[in-house]
Amino acid sequence: MERENDGTREMVFSSLLVLFYFLPFVLALYFVAPKGFRNGILFFFSLIFYAWGEPVYVILMLFSILLNFTAGYVVEKYKRQEEIKKAQIVLVISVVVNLLLLGIFKYSDFVVENLNHLTGLSVPLPRLELPIGISFYTFQAMSYAIDVYRGEAERQTNVIAFGAYVTLFPQLIAGPIVRYQTVAEELTGRRENLDDFSQGIGRFMVGLGKKVLLANSIGMVWEQICAMGIDTLPALTAWIGIFAFTFQIYFDFAGYSDMAIGLGKMFGFHFLENFEYPYLSKSITEFWRRWHISLGTWFREYVYIPLGGNRKGMRRQIFNLAVVWALTGIWHGASWNFLLWGCYFGVILIAEKLFLLKWLRRWPRFLQHFYAMFLVVIGWVLFALTDLGQVGGYLAAMFGLNGAGLANEASLYLLTSNLVLLIILALASTDWPKRMALSLMLRLKNRMSVSIALQNVFLAAVFLLSVAYLVNSSYNPFLYFRF
């Protein structure tokens, strides 16, 4: 089963801790500085933050900034001169170079390994280290020249402002993917204010709690079950394990997205939401409208629609969906399981588009929800395990087909010792806590000081518990940073 190595864990752990030391200094310097220097401060300290984990690959990031900034300049110049063909050529070159860099660093080992397997050759693997967050910042940088070509954003005339956009440390490591047009105006014309700053602090602390207190806690259960060996897993243990991963990956990534959105608000940026309670979905179509919204939007705007979307008949639409979901799968990692995972959801989405959604809408709501979550959980098995043999073995264990039975003493111990945590996670993954908090605030609307005090006490408790956890625990994986 795929796990992060010790160096990776130590780097992610250090990056989270350094953020706490790093952030107050950056905030103080940022707000003391004149507005004209603030993008420069963000750009410089974002590079420092990235260099904490990847000092060598800062050069690659700077090259990406210069490449895409130049491409936007030239594309806009040729469009203004009505030389559309030249603008298209420049755009294509910039996209190809971006994808080539992504391909070399992320997929070269995968390609060479499979070529060796097919041809019988023994070409040495390049063994290139994967630059942190390369998939995220490459997609962001690419969106700039495309948006300029389409006329959906003005060319950025300040390379420092553009560099701040690409490297912005709140969402640098793992998104959300911020398209250029979303923050184009805020890069040079944002207005920071106390309301946004206070909301940003609250959002950051909630995200930190999701990641550290919830995702890390249940992640240890998944790790424990991974260490047991698939062949010996009873069905109950296998289900507990994949439920643990289901909650871990949600709170891990949604928590980081909350932290990024909160930090962005503190600096005057308004990033779009990346999650909308995906585990409340009643179909896979709805799930992918709620999960990793920024990635789905990117593929829709820059791949699906340019391919023709749903404008060229059903056959072409099915083809376009198949391409998008194959790419979505392989975007997540250089491994066959990610391609299989993308194709799995692609097939389901196509089936829902053709006929399945019509049937689903006739079912009771709880059955629709069960259908969606059952398929999502099965999908997480494909995502979590890079070895396809282990994928098959784990699925067999879940359905009691591996000869290990339905449960044993270890299964019952895991269930009883983690039942309360699983219930908390299930409730926290819905909008129930938000609705309860809003209901309480309404009851206290005439006692504003009490309402504010309760909010602050809650946020302070989450923050202090999270910091204590980080300081005292050596377990602090981050699932999505490797993408």
The one-character DSSP state at 176 is -
Whole-number Å distance between alpha carbons of 390 and 71: 44
Active-site annotation, residues? 332
Choosing from 173, 190, 207, the residue where a domain stops is: 190
The stretch 44-62 carries a mean pLDDT of 84
Confidence of residue 69 (pLDDT cuts 50, 70, 90): very high
Last residue of a domain, one of 140, 169, 190: 190
On whether residue 1 sits in a domain, the answer given is no
My answer on whether 390 and 275 are in the same domain is: yes
| 255 within a domain of the structure (yes/no) | yes
Contacts of 80 (CB under 8 A, 6+ apart): none
Same domain, yes or no, for 104 and 217?
Answer: no
Statement to judge: residues 185 and 207 lie in one domain: no
> Among candidates 455, 478, 472, 470, which has minimal Cα distance to 206?
455
What is the average pLDDT value for the chain, to the nearest integer? 89
Whether 395 and 301 share a structural domain: yes
CA 86 to each of CA 44, 68, 80, 144, 197: distance values in angstroms, whole numbers, following the listed order? 34, 16, 11, 17, 44
Residues 274 and 415 both lie in one domain? yes
Do residue 150 and residue 248 come from a single domain?
no
The tokens describing 439, both together, are: 């209901």
Instruction: Tell me, yes or no, whether 304 and 285 share the same domain.
Output: yes
Is residue 132 in a domain? Answer: yes
Between 1 and 325, whose confidence is greater? 325
Asked whether residue 8 is domain-assigned, the answer is no
Q: In terms of domains, do 65 and 210 share one?
A: no
Phi and psi at residue 234, to the nearest 5° = -70, 165
Q: Which residue has the higher pLDDT, 452 or 420?
A: 420
Q: Which are the contacts of 263, defined by CB distance < 8 A and separation ≥ 6? A: 23, 169, 170, 171, 200, 204
Under 8 Å between Cβ of 167 and 253: no
Q: Does 240 share its domain with 383?
A: yes
CA distance 395 to 120: 31
Got the DSSP string for 23-35? HHHHHHHHHHS-H
Tell me how far CA of residue 279 lies from CA of 38, 148, 414, in angstroms.
39, 36, 23
Structural domain range at position 208: 196-472
Contacts of 266 (CB under 8 A, 6+ apart): 27, 196, 197, 200, 201, 204
Instruction: Say if 14 falls within a structural domain.
Output: no
Name the residue among 272, 15, 249, 257 with its Cα closest to residue 132: 15
Does residue 20 lie within any of the structural domains? no
Distance (Å, whole) CA 263 – CA 261 = 6
Rounded to whole angstroms, what are the CA distances from 125 to 1, 119, 330, 431?
21, 15, 19, 47
| Stretch among 50-54, 301-305, 372-376 having the lowest mean pLDDT | 50-54
Q: How many domains does the chain contain in total?
A: 2
pLDDT mean over 123-146: 89
The predicted structure's pLDDT at residue 476: 57
468 or 329: which leads in pLDDT: 329
| Same domain for 181 and 296 | no
pTM recorded for the entire structure: 0.91
Last residue of one domain, picked from the residues 163, 190, 217: 190
Q: What is the mean pLDDT of residues 388-397?
A: 95
Q: Are residues 185 and 228 in the same domain?
A: no
- Mean pLDDT for 394-400 is 96
**42 has a pLDDT exceeding 70:** yes
